[in-house]
Amino acid sequence: MAGGSGALLKDEVDIVIPTIRSLDFLEMWRPFFQPYHLIIIQDGDPSKIIKVPEGFDYEFYNRNDIDRILGPKASCISFLEAACRCFAFLISKKKYIFTIDDDCFVAKDPSGKEINVIEQHLKNLLTPSTPHFFNTLYDPYREGADFVRGYPFSLREGSPTAVSHGLWLNIPDYDAPTQLVKPRERNTRYVDAVVTIPKKALYPMCSMNLAFDRELIGPAMYFGIFGHGQPIGRYDDMFAGWCSKVICDHLGFGVKTGLPYLWHSKASNPFINLKKEYNGIFWQEEAIPFFQSVILPKDCTTAQLCYLELAKQVKDKLSKIDPYFSKLADAMVTWIEAWEEFNPAPAGEEDVDFAKLSIAKAAGK
């Protein structure tokens, strides 16, 4: 089912690509991506021309477009950071998002076959997850696998899968200190598994190779304010991972990690990375225990409501680390305001009433 008109759910997926350089990497993905729609977000100087290879169906946005479309709410979208990709999550009209970095290429499985990442991500998302009990033979919904002896029968229907986190062969996704210490380490291990990350466990979500169900968890896939003008970078996807996992746990959705692999071609500069990550390395030591212990009230029944509550708690509990977290919490609220604007509730359902909620940004300022 590699590409062509037989591409799986071709009208229900947007491929989101943030880029600062060229899009030549798309040539290698042509058989897999051409049937789908792309949303390309230019990360950085909007006067620089980025050429999209011919034959792809795409929308393209630069910083000027984002400012024009979102107006004052554009402040919640990062500049000079791949975090800008979340603008595409906001304006997409599709059910599924697949996002990839522009230094990632098609990987091969151990039999030498090129891996169709989108197909595997969709398989992960279209089958349930098992967050309430660990299955030792991994994803029980894969062909040739099932629930093992002792798995409660009442849990075998599983939970809706909201996130599919894929992995990387060649250059692993290491932080700056590990890059510095192990400059030559390459990931050569192809692990033929998909695992549901159990409820209450957090994980480092990397956006290099990530898919999710926008309808289930889109509002929680906010990549924060990082990069230019901020005291921290390279934590955009981590932040989105903490928030989305906590909200998936609360709403009863599952998160899978493992297959599919792609080929990550080059390591970013560890010295630059260290500068960006520096504060995050400290701050995550307090932020992660906070996210591990967050409790969302029962009346948070949608991802939007959960997210606004989380914004409030981030402001209350993390601002003491650094005033940055207060700004971040405000941006989280702006993000949901923008989400509501571009994704109005279907007829018969109510939009979030910001006036009614005590989480208005001004209150905390």
Interaction site with a copy of itself (CB under 8 A): 110, 133-138, 144-154, 165, 167, 172-175, 177-178, 182, 185-193, 195, 197-206, 234-235, 237-238, 241, 257, 277, 281, 284-285, 288
104-105 vs 96-100, strand pairing mode: unpaired
- 188 vs 358, which CB is nearer to a copy of itself? 188
Residue found under tokens 């212990």: 293
- 181 vs 345, which CB is nearer to a copy of itself? 181
- 198 vs 231, which CB is nearer to a copy of itself? 198
CA–CA gap between residue 165 and residue 206 (Å, rounded): 7
DSSP letter for 219, please: G
The minimum distance between CB 214 and a copy of itself, in angstroms, equals: 22
Return the axis-axis angle of helices 270-293 and 236-251, rounded to nearest 10°: 20
- Token pair recorded at residue 264: 């990550």
The minimum distance between CB 186 and a copy of itself, in angstroms, equals: 8
DSSP letter for 269, please: P
The minimum distance between CB 306 and a copy of itself, in angstroms, equals: 20
The verdict on whether omega for the bond into residue 110 sits within 30 degrees of 0, i.e. cis, is no
- 133 vs 342, which CB is nearer to a copy of itself? 133
- Token pair recorded at residue 51: 């050429």
The values of phi and psi at residue 268, to 5°, are -75, 165
CA–CA gap between residue 95 and residue 264 (Å, rounded): 26
The minimum distance between CB 231 and a copy of itself, in angstroms, equals: 17
- 152 vs 346, which CB is nearer to a copy of itself? 152
- 30 vs 200, which CB is nearer to a copy of itself? 200
Which residues neighbour 23 within 8 Å (Cβ) at sequence distance 6 or greater? 17, 40, 50, 51, 52, 53, 102
The minimum distance between CB 37 and a copy of itself, in angstroms, equals: 28
The values of phi and psi at residue 79, to 5°, are -120, 140
- Token pair recorded at residue 233: 């970078």
- 64 vs 293, which CB is nearer to a copy of itself? 293
- 137 vs 345, which CB is nearer to a copy of itself? 137
Q: How far is CA 273 from CA 28, 177, 232, 240, 302, in A?
A: 27, 9, 10, 19, 35
The length of the chain, given as a count of residues: 365
Which candidate, 318, 333, 253, places its Cα nearest to that of 284?
318
The minimum distance between CB 60 and a copy of itself, in angstroms, equals: 28
The minimum distance between CB 156 and a copy of itself, in angstroms, equals: 10
The minimum distance between CB 239 and a copy of itself, in angstroms, equals: 9
CA–CA gap between residue 146 and residue 141 (Å, rounded): 6
